[in-house]
Amino acid sequence: MRLEFLSYILDTETPTYGDRERFNQFKKSSISSGDIANNTSIETTTHIGTHIDMPYHFYEDGRSIEDYPAPFWNFKKKEILYIELKVRDLIVKEELISKLKEIKNRDRYRILIVKTNICAIRGEREFWAKNYGFSPDIYDYLIENFPNIKIFGFDSISISSFANREIGREAHKRFLNPKREILLLEDMNLCRLDINRKIKELTIAPFRIKQSDGIPCSIIAKLKLPKVKNILWDFDGVIFNSMKIKNDGFLELFKEYKREDLEKFKEYNLVSGGVPRFDKIRYFYNNILKEDIDDDEVKRLADKFSKIIKKRLFLKENLISETIEFIKREYKNYNFHITSGAEHNELNRLCREFNLSKYFISIEGSPTKKSILIKNILKEYGYRREDTILIGDAITDYYSAYDNGIGFYGYNNPELERFFYIRSFKDFKI
């Protein structure tokens, strides 16, 4: 068992609906300034971070926190319904109702938690500007078919999509109707949750602010993690450090173009780890230069890129020593595979050069996309998704794992700390 927060810490970077209000904190006294003690004040809306919308939010006679006893906020395994969606439209309806229709023993559930996966981009503008909303009709379906649901939680910043607030207002009114309310638990941190990590128990701990329409809260889940048998490894950034080498290689490849275009590509390249070089070349032409490029030219440029970086690439000091030590120590205890955005032939040459091939059952690279590589491995070797994880250093690695229903661990990239994260392989245990 493992305890995990399904709520976010409040700070000045916390996103807010419509980017309208911010969480502010300031010192009224400070030890560093010579005061006896630190004393911090905060200024905030109560609808911020992971929070609950109370019926009082939309109804003058609606209930607030003082009307709910302590046991209301604790949920056992059998009372928790968790659903993952691949969302198509800003307003979620049919895909969720379709999933709900498959559920049996509907009377037992008291809380519904829905992961749209928008939590993966919580640091970006799109998280609040184009957030997923939920149709008011979902309330009607829940009332008719799940009579004991008390709370509807999700990873979107609000039940109301900022791009369609009229439907959002109606959804709020429907769910928070005092005659039969379903409380809204918004902006949940579901990045570390997936269909293989089962919630055994859930406790919601809201601030107790009398007659408040919104309540920030902490959420603690007791998770049962599946036993890992198969580990799929990204290569660049996890086993091998080649980001600077490859970034310099691309700048050399595109040196004839304008400096501002190269700067745009450099910014893109720094956040697109795990993306094959073929796709990066296409991106430079299609998205930065606004030019077409055919497959033959992409291949020609990819071959030229390989020649540019070849001498600098085959240096042993580029290996990440703590990762290599873990692989050597544990390769007999797990099924190891490499699934990388690095070019396939070059990747295999590197592994042979550094005497790494013997530790891996298979070593696969681009141009085949990583999500397809993972899918092929699961099928070819008969691996169960719940027994399999991917270790990567980029958000694209997370998406590849999520698309295939396997677990994900981030490494060597602080922006991935909202997921399960490996700070060091020296004392890492799965």
Burial 328-363 (b: 16+ CB within 10 A, else e): eebbeebbbbbbbbbbbebbbebbeebebeebbebb
| Number of independent structural domains in the chain | 3
Q: Which residues contact 264 (CB under 8 A, 6 or more apart)?
A: 288
pLDDT by residue (tens digit) across 178-217? 999 999 999 999 999 988 899 999 999 999 999 999 999 9
Residues of the chain with pLDDT > 90, as a percent, come to 74
- CATH code, 353: 3.40.50.1000
Same domain, 26 and 71: yes
The DSSP bridge pattern shows strands 39-43 and 24-29 to be antiparallel
CA triple 121-127-129, angle to 5 deg: 150
CA triple 169-171-174, angle to 5 deg: 110
pLDDT by residue (tens digit) across 331-340? 999 999 999 9
pLDDT by residue (tens digit) across 303-319? 888 888 776 777 788 89
Rounded to an integer, the average pLDDT of 44-50 is 96
**86 vs 89: CA distance, rounded Å:** 10
Structure tokens at 107: 């009377």
Residue 251: the pLDDT is 83
Enumerate helices (H) and strands (E) in the chain, giving the number of each.
12, 19
Residue 260: the pLDDT is 87
pLDDT by residue (tens digit) across 134-191? 999 999 999 999 999 999 999 999 999 999 999 999 999 999 999 999 999 999 999 9
**371 vs 397: CA distance, rounded Å:** 8
Q: Which of 148, 312, 153, 327 is nearest to 234 (CA)?
A: 327
Is residue 306 in a domain? Answer: yes
**308 vs 373: CA distance, rounded Å:** 27
Q: 391 pairs with which residues across the strands?
A: 233, 409
Q: What is the signed CA dihedral for 411, 412, 413, 417, rounded to 10 degrees?
A: 40
Q: Which residues contact 352 (CB under 8 A, 6 or more apart)?
A: none
Q: Is residue 372's pLDDT more than 80?
A: yes
Q: State which residues form the domain around 280.
A: 243-313
pLDDT by residue (tens digit) across 71-111? 999 999 999 999 999 898 999 999 999 999 999 999 999 99
CA triple 95-99-104, angle to 5 deg: 160
Same domain, 269 and 342: no
Same domain, 8 and 122: yes
Global confidence as pTM: 0.84
Residue 382: the pLDDT is 97
If you search the block for the tokens 């601030």, which residue do you land on? 207
Same domain, 199 and 106: yes
**Last residue within a domain, chosen from 291, 313, 335:** 313
Residue 302: the pLDDT is 86
Is residue 427 in a domain? Answer: no
Residue 51: the pLDDT is 98
- Cα–Cα distance list, 307 to 68, 246, 251, 317 (Å): 67, 11, 14, 20
Q: Is residue 271's pLDDT more than 70?
A: no
Q: Is residue 366's pLDDT more than 90?
A: no
Same domain, 32 and 168: yes
State whether residue 278 is helix, strand or coil.
helix
**Last residue within a domain, chosen from 313, 330, 358:** 313
Residue 341: the pLDDT is 86
Q: Is residue 243's pLDDT more than 80?
A: no
Burial 138-158 (b: 16+ CB within 10 A, else e): bbeebeeebeebbbbbbbbbb
- Contact 373/364 with Cβ under 8 angstroms? yes
- CATH code, 135: 3.50.30.50
